Each structure stands twice: as structure tokens, then as C-alpha cells.
Structure 1
């Protein structure tokens, strides 16, 4: 079929004269779409009112039950990115991004059918499993491609792509709120039709990114650029294959860093709208605005910190990020109405914490590139994203179930978050110590011949 042959790796290799600056828009088209997952919290309360419409009624789903939709999506994201990593290296980003668009949209469509039938397992399967597979393919393909187009500025490159993922909620949150309001009736909260419209919209937008993307020719490098190791000795010009990389202490230390940072951030992100309503009693519409503000911080942090890392190094950047996060999560529970009663300080602190969360994702690929080279960067990054899978379950489960447990034991809704946020501080300390132990990858792990490493630029 002509369409499927258009997706072949050979058809996506850039011709001489192609500008690498056309690739970031392709990456953004995909990441701005799949980044919608970060606005999922705006659906949590409506999904618990499908029967009661204005409030939960017998037979309605609970918030912890609904929270698993997001956890499944993030969990499958990391697992699919790891599983399909070698396939992505072989088939190239265009096919991966095209398949991602279909799977992500299909996830919305199946979830819509699940809402219509009031079958939660169908929503889990659609948005969580099928949509999660689309997330995994759509997330890793643009990142690996941009790293190869911008070897001179890997932090900037990953920041450009992953900034879009962090900013996806800035589009997804108001779009979902307005669509649910448009489709709302006295007998329907509007979620079912909202899922259908959003799935169609994202299918078209992501397909545009897949058509636009290109990969560099074998041996290509930016004009006048010569690779050179950083003064710290942490940056390699050699390649490491995915198998040996997976067995290094460096990979697993970075896995711990990403998992701890992500667990803390994603716990807030998944519960953002209900949390600020619990802490300060604001309306659902205002809470939706808060989710949008978090998206701005998430997006800005991804670009700012990854760019900074090009100048001060990845390890130093993570030391700063994790140190700031430890302070921020220590402060956050005391900003509530029961303590300082400062919604402004809460929003600012939460925003900074989400900028740190996003920065972890945009800096980690460049960190991998520094340690392992670009030879199998897509496959290695895919395996690293299993840290996101674990965090995507651990963070929301900690927040949702500890909140429920605290409330059952007589703690008010505002105070129910204090214990879990202190636990997040402990996890961040573990991540800080893991980053402190990262060293350069020993020569014994390098690939034997450097010829394949040079050719890898075209994959």
C-alpha cells in the first residue's frame, strides 16, 4: 500500500539541504497532543458523576477508581516505550508517530464507548492500555530523533520536544472543560462526546507531525561542529549498545533519579484539580485554570532547565532540581487554608515543583546521550521510561489511597495531603543520593567498532 510505504524508514531520510529546524514542529505536533494526559484530572470529578450528574450517586465510580485510568496510561507508556524501543530504532520515527496517532485516538474512542455503557474496564482498556501504547510510541520517537538532529545542543533539542508534552495540558484542559460544558445536559455530563471530539482532533494533529518528520542521513552532523568531551569527563563520544547499557550501574542510578522525581511530581499532577479544591474550596472552573497554570510551569521547566544543562552539565542540573524539590514539597502542605492560607504561595510552589518534574524528563535524554552516546539512544531511552511506568502507578496510588485513608481516620480534606507530601520528600532524597553516585561509563561497555555509531545518525 502506498500509504504504508510512505511510512518506511528510507522514505523519511532527509535529502541534502533539508533544514533541521523543520523537525521540532513535527515533534511538537505529537507531544502537544499526547501531553493531554496531563490534564486528565479535569475528568476525575465528572467521571464520578455520570449517574448522579451534579453529585456522586449509588453506582457512580469513586475518585481512586477513576485515578487508575491515568495510572494505566502512564504505566503502559513506559512499558511500550521500552518494548518497542528496538523496533523504533529499526523502523524509524515516522512509522512510530503514525501508529501512535491511531492508537492514541482509538484510546479516546474506546473510552467514550466505555462511558456510554458505564463500564469502567472499557475506559481502562481504551484510554489506559490502547491510548497508553500510543503515548509510548509518540513520546520516545520525537525525542530520539531530535537528539540526532541536534548533537551540538542535546539539552535544547530534548527541551523543544518535551516542552510540548508538558504544555499539552494547556490545550487539553480548557478544551476538555469547554467541550464538556458544550455537551452537558440535565442527563449527561458531556464526557462521552468530549472523548470522541478530542480523539478526532488529536488524530489529525499527530498525523501532520508524522508526515513532516525526517531523520538525518548516515554520518550527518551540523556544519562546523566537532564533538568534544565536557570538562567533567561525563560526556562520551563513543556508543554503547542497549544491552550493555541496561547492565551498567549508571543506567539504574539514572532510573532511580527519574522514578523518584516523577513519583513526586505525578502524584500532584494527577490530583491537581481535586487537591486545590480540597485545600482552598475553590470552584471546579477555577481548579481547571490551576491545571492550565501547572501546564505552563511544566512546559517552561522542560525547556529552561534542559537548556541550562547544556552549560552546567546534566548531573549538576539534577542536583539543583532535586534539592529545590525537597524544599518545595516540605513547604507545600503548610500553604493550605488551615495553616498559612496562601493560595498564591501554593500555586507558585506547586508550579515550581511541576517545572522540576518536567525538567527531569527533558534533561534525562541528554543525560543518557552524554553517558551512552547516540548509537542506541532510542532503545535505551525507551527502557529508562519504565521508571515513568512505576512512578505513574506509585505517585497517584500514594496520593489517592493515602488521602482516602486519612479522611476515614477523621483527618479533614485539607490535612489529608500532609503525610503523603512528606513521603514525597523522602523519595526525592533517595533520588538526590542516586544522582550523586553517577559516574562516567567505563570503556569496557563501548561498542567494539565505531563505524556503526557513525551510521546510527541515520536511524
Structure 2
């Protein structure tokens, strides 16, 4: 006699695989990597666009501002659409819009055309994918949200490492128009294919059908109800503080490195500024799953206190050793290591507090803090520098914001959230 074995049909085997949280994490990571290039390799295209469009740099950089503002300020609406129509349809659309933003920008003949393609379509497309993937991960990993969100956020922060050198090489060999068309198509294809496998967890789908609204013990809260709670606005203020600090560094680093006299100094055979930027990209990605993993075990607010405090100390040390090229490079990496974790800690804490059913839309509202931070850390920080003639006041403001967020996390958010969850149960 031979032992009988039961084999699932190919369609059922495929469905079983797609309902593995690790497969979902991999697909979400691929989606994030596919849409990371518009933000992180924009600098490679500024020179050819300037030559083609014959505009000033300030006018060209409006494109990047449009990309970031639309990605963040429209995120509540984008999150609602993902919750309403499902991740597969909306993330497919987001990947398509992201790819089209590059393909169409290759054909433009005016800076306004660039605003409408690279800026508008790119901002809407990347925003849909970003909030959609984060919203899925907090649902698939209810007991390890910090790690899962950190992994996909790291994919967005570090994904462009895969494309930076190929795009740079293609620009030299093929020109910017062919490069945009080719890589735009590649982004769309990879993102759209990965999006086809994305699913909402079956446990959450059944809970919603039963009228429960969440697969965990936390009661799910609708966005409008969440917006009436002091806890949400405290988290919004804290994320704005931390976003301002990090985005000030991202947007102004070239300017203050030159002012400090270290931009072109040689460190280990490389110019200090590009070396620092390279290290920063890795530490900015590494910190997201690492601190997310720590928060799953140590607690969200405890981890925030450690990470945000580290950011404040690193910024203080960076300012005091600003004229030492080696320390400038090393401390820049520590600064980003203390900053990038906000993209795993805040969405995890928000979902822990307000439940899973409306997680994507709810995070969309919180993610708007990133847009406000880009304004405060960009033009407002530049105005402070212009008025004072020194970067020291700018750094001091950022250090105070980081330290305040750390204190608020441990001594205000932690007890406030504990009382709120006790009332919910």
C-alpha cells in the first residue's frame, strides 16, 4: 500500500501563500522600493532639467516641494480610498501613477509641465503606495508592528540605493529622457506586479464582516472620532517636532556643511559631504526596523524616549564638533539613526491605540505632520538662518524640539495612552 497525500490545487496553494504575513511583507517591501526613486534620486535630474528647461534652480525645486506636499497632505484621502476599495486596486493605481510621472516628464517642454507630471502625479502615486503599505503592515503584524512597518519604511528609505548608480550611468550614456522613460516603466511594472498579491488579513476581513471592526482587543476608532482625542494631537505634535528636525538636515545639509567648512574636506579618501550622505542613507534605513523591533518588546513610548533623546544628543554633539570633518561624517550617521525610526514608531503606536479597521486612513492624518515638518525644516529654518546669519540658532531649535518630543513620549504620552486604553477595555 502507498500512503495517500493530499495536495492543494494550484489556485488554493497560491492563495495560501498570499495569506502568509511574510509574503505580504515582501510584497509591501517591493512596492516601497519601486516608488522610492522619485524622492531620493531627484538630485540626479536637476542638472539635465535645468539645461533643458532654461529655468532657475529655485523654480525647478518647486517640483520636489509639490512631490512631498502632495504625498503627505493628501494621505488621509488616499488612505480612505485604500480602506474603501482595497489595497490591490489602489496600490496598482499608485504604482502606475508613479511610473507615468517619469514617463510623461520625459516629454515635457516647460517647468509647469514638470510640476504636473513629476510633481503632481508622482506625489499622488507615491503617497497612495506609502500609506497603503504601512496600513497593511500594521494589520498583518499585530504583535510586531514596529518591526514590520520599520522594514517597509526602510525599503522606501533605502530602496533608491538599488537604482541610484544604474540611473546615474544611464543619464551619462542615454540622456535624461530615455532614462526617465525606461526607469519609469520599470517602476510601474515592478510596483503593479507586487500590488497584485497584496491582501487584507482574513482575520480582519471576518471581524469587519461580523461588525467587530478589528482582529485585536483594541476597539477600532473612526478617523473623525480619533481627531477629537487629545492623544492623536499629542502624537501629531511630536511627529511634527521630529519631522522638522530630520527634514531640516535633509534639506539644508549641503548649505550648513559648506558654512562649517567641511563639505569638501577629505575623509578616508572621499569628500566629507557625499560620504556623509552615503552613510546617512544606510543608518536612516537601518534604524526603522531596529527601533521598531525594540519597541515591540520594550514598549513604544520607552523606545521613543531613547531614540528621540539620542537624536537630541547627536544634534548637540554635531553642532559642537561641526568643524571636524571626521566627526561631522560620523555624527551625521548618528543623527539619521536617531531620526528615521519615527516612520515605524508613530504608525505602530497609532494603530495600537485606535485599532486596525481604519488604520490606513488614520495614519494618513498623522502622516500630514511630515508635510508640516518639511515647511518648518525647509523654508522656515532657512529664514532663521538668514535672519541670524548663523546655523547655531537653527540647530538649537531642532535640539529643543527633539528633547521635548522625548520627554513628552515618556511623561505625557505614556500615561495618557494607558488611561485611554484602560477605558476602552
Give 1:211's match in structure 2, choosing from 169, 176, 196.
196
Alpha-carbon distance in structure 2 between the residues aligned to 1:197 and 1:288: 26
Give 1:154's match in structure 2, choosing from 135, 145, 149.
145
1:195 equivalent in structure 2 = 180
The verdict on how the C-alpha distance between 1:399 and 1:125 changes in structure 2, with shifts beyond 3 A counting, is: farther
Task: Tell me, yes or no, if the aligned pair for 1:76 and 1:132 is still in contact at 8 Å.
Answer: yes
User: How many Å apart are 1:220 and its aligned residue?
Assistant: 7.7
User: How many Å apart are 1:107 and its aligned residue?
Assistant: 1.9
RMSD (Å), alpha carbons: 3.2
1:259 equivalent in structure 2 = 240
2:300 equivalent in structure 1 = 314
1:242 equivalent in structure 2 = 223
Note the alpha carbon deviations across 1:416-442, whole angstroms, 9 max, x for none.
544433332233244334434211263
User: How many Å apart are 1:395 and its aligned residue?
Assistant: 1.9
Q: Is 1:393 equivalent to 2:388 in the alignment? A: no
Note the alpha carbon deviations across 1:363-422, whole angstroms, 9 max, x for none.
11110122112121111111111111212233222355556x37xx9x6xxxx5444333
- Of residues 425-434 and 318-327 in structure 1, the stretch that sits farther from structure 2 once superposed is 425-434
The verdict on how the C-alpha distance between 1:401 and 1:71 changes in structure 2, with shifts beyond 3 A counting, is: farther
The verdict on how the C-alpha distance between 1:397 and 1:165 changes in structure 2, with shifts beyond 3 A counting, is: same
Structure 2's unaligned 5+ residue stretches are 1-10, 207-215
2:396 equivalent in structure 1 = 422
- Of residues 131-140 and 391-400 in structure 1, the stretch that sits farther from structure 2 once superposed is 391-400
The verdict on how the C-alpha distance between 1:104 and 1:273 changes in structure 2, with shifts beyond 3 A counting, is: farther
Alpha-carbon distance in structure 2 between the residues aligned to 1:442 and 1:88: 27
Task: Tell me, yes or no, if the aligned pair for 1:88 and 1:96 is still in contact at 8 Å.
Answer: yes
1:31 equivalent in structure 2 = 32
- Of residues 347-356 and 239-248 in structure 1, the stretch that sits farther from structure 2 once superposed is 347-356
Give 2:278's match in structure 1, choosing from 292, 298, 305.
292
Mapping of residues 174-193 of structure 1, within 5 Å = 174-183=165-174, 190-193=175-178
2:134 equivalent in structure 1 = 143
Alpha-carbon distance in structure 2 between the residues aligned to 1:172 and 1:420: 33
Structure 1's unaligned 5+ residue stretches are 1-10, 53-58, 184-189, 222-234, 448-459
The verdict on how the C-alpha distance between 1:111 and 1:171 changes in structure 2, with shifts beyond 3 A counting, is: same
2:3 equivalent in structure 1 = none
Q: Is 1:363 equivalent to 2:345 in the alignment? A: yes
User: How many Å apart are 1:172 and its aligned residue?
Assistant: 4.0
Alpha-carbon distance in structure 2 between the residues aligned to 1:274 and 1:106: 32
User: How many Å apart are 1:80 and its aligned residue?
Assistant: 2.1
The verdict on how the C-alpha distance between 1:282 and 1:171 changes in structure 2, with shifts beyond 3 A counting, is: farther
User: How many Å apart are 1:273 and its aligned residue?
Assistant: 5.4
SS of alignment partner, residue 107 of structure 2:
helix
Alpha-carbon distance in structure 2 between the residues aligned to 1:38 and 1:326: 26
Alpha-carbon distance in structure 1 between the residues aligned to 2:381 and 2:162: 25
Structure 2 length normalisation: TM-score? 0.82
- Of residues 162-171 and 327-336 in structure 1, the stretch that sits farther from structure 2 once superposed is 327-336
The verdict on how the C-alpha distance between 1:318 and 1:244 changes in structure 2, with shifts beyond 3 A counting, is: same
Give 1:431's match in structure 2, choosing from 382, 405, 412.
405
User: How many Å apart are 1:290 and its aligned residue?
Assistant: 4.1
Give 2:420's match in structure 1, choosing from 427, 442, 446.
442
Alpha-carbon distance in structure 2 between the residues aligned to 1:333 and 1:240: 42
Task: Tell me, yes or no, if the aligned pair for 2:70 and 2:120 is still in contact at 8 Å.
Answer: yes
Alpha-carbon distance in structure 1 between the residues aligned to 2:344 and 2:122: 22
Structure 1 length normalisation: TM-score? 0.77
1:454 equivalent in structure 2 = none
1:186 equivalent in structure 2 = none
User: How many Å apart are 1:315 and its aligned residue?
Assistant: 0.8
- Give the helix-richer structure, 1 or 2: 2
Q: Is 1:77 equivalent to 2:71 in the alignment? A: yes
- Of residues 123-132 and 64-73 in structure 1, the stretch that sits farther from structure 2 once superposed is 64-73
Work out the number of aligned pairs and report it.
Answer: 395
Alpha-carbon distance in structure 2 between the residues aligned to 1:135 and 1:74: 9
1:452 equivalent in structure 2 = none
Task: Tell me, yes or no, if the aligned pair for 2:353 and 2:421 is still in contact at 8 Å.
Answer: no
User: How many Å apart are 1:261 and its aligned residue?
Assistant: 0.8
1:61 equivalent in structure 2 = 56
User: How many Å apart are 1:312 and its aligned residue?
Assistant: 1.0
Task: Tell me, yes or no, if the aligned pair for 2:55 and 2:111 is still in contact at 8 Å.
Answer: no
Q: Is 1:269 equivalent to 2:270 in the alignment? A: no
